[in-house]
Copies of this chain bind each other. A is one copy, B any other.
Amino acid sequence: MNQKRPFILISNDDGYHANGIKTLVSFLKDRADLLVCAPEAGRSGFACAFSAAIPLRLKRRHNMGDVEVWSCNGTPVDCVKLAVDQLCSERQPDLILGGINHGDNASVNSHYSGTMGVAREGCMKYIPSVAFSTSDYDEEADLRYLRDDACRIVDKVLAEGLPKGVCLNVNFPAKPPFKGVKVCRMAFGSWVNEVVKARHPHGYDYYWLAGECRNDEPEAADSDHWALQHGYIAITPTRIDVTDYGFIDTVKGWDL
């Protein structure tokens, strides 16, 4: 590897074969040394889950061009843990990227997202980390139009770094042209109509989790959900320290 080029670890939650990860590799292969380690199949909604109880495997897959690709049978977080420990022992990544995810991760979806799990795990290892997601849910969508925006964000993070304990949650609207970038706060939202009952041929009930994410602050023009809905790229700086500092004194006052 050329030590003058940055080294970027890429993972996702849609699987190593996903269109979004191939697109991200195609954007970055000329400006960085890349390594892909991603789930062997889709792991949407896996959040920061890691595998405490199952044995994990890494499998070498066909390269993407010159880029080594590995799959793991675990979660997105497992991929980062194994890749950093087993595949990056000679050189630690300068940057960890999750995505490009098929489906946005704005609002409370930040908490459920395996793509954000990748970014949080990198961030918890004190490595600058960014999650990329698009509101275009079409897994076969041609995402080449994201090249300039994604590369500009990657270049800037490589140049400026990120503070300890902060990663970026980047969400693209479904279709260009974009109106620009908004640096946002996370919107409050709620999953509604999310439980769908169905009937198994053998006569018992089962359930699918589906539904939609309702924006509970539709007027909040400083929020990521608003930005996406109005055609802006939303960048939400996201903390690992989830303490609610403003509520500490109230709980102290409870005199427990």
Contacts and interface: CB of A to CB of B under 8 A. Distances in A.
A242 interface: yes
Interface in A69-85: 75, 77-78, 81-82, 85
Given A163-B247, A194-B85, A245-B185, A47 B45 contact: no
A112 B238 contact: no
A168 B254 CA distance: 13
B252 A183 contact: yes
Nearest to A41: B53
A240 B108 contact: yes
Interface string A102-134: 000000101110000100100011100000000
Contact of A207 (B58, B190, B207): B58
Contacts of A135: none
A117 B47 contact: yes
A145 interface: no
Given A47-B50, A242-B242, 5 more contacts: A50-B112, A110-B242, A125-B190, A152-B256, A163-B244
A197 B166 CA distance: 30
Contact of A194 (B55, B81, B110): B81
Given A48-B111, A243-B239, A56 B124 contact: no
Contacts of A185: 241, 243, 245, 248
Contact of A78 (B56, B78, B110, B209): B209
A225 to B, nearest CB: 12
Interface residues of A, number: 79
Given A56-B206, A111-B124, A237 B241 contact: no
A1 interface: no
Nearest to A111: B48
A198 interface: yes
A164 interface: yes
A245 B186 CA distance: 10
Interface in A26-73: 42, 44-53, 55-58
Contacts of A243: 184-186, 236-239
Contacts of A160: 254
B254 A207 contact: no
Contact of A188 (B49, B204, B240): B240
A86 interface: yes
Nearest to A180: B256
Nearest to A188: B165
A57 B194 contact: no
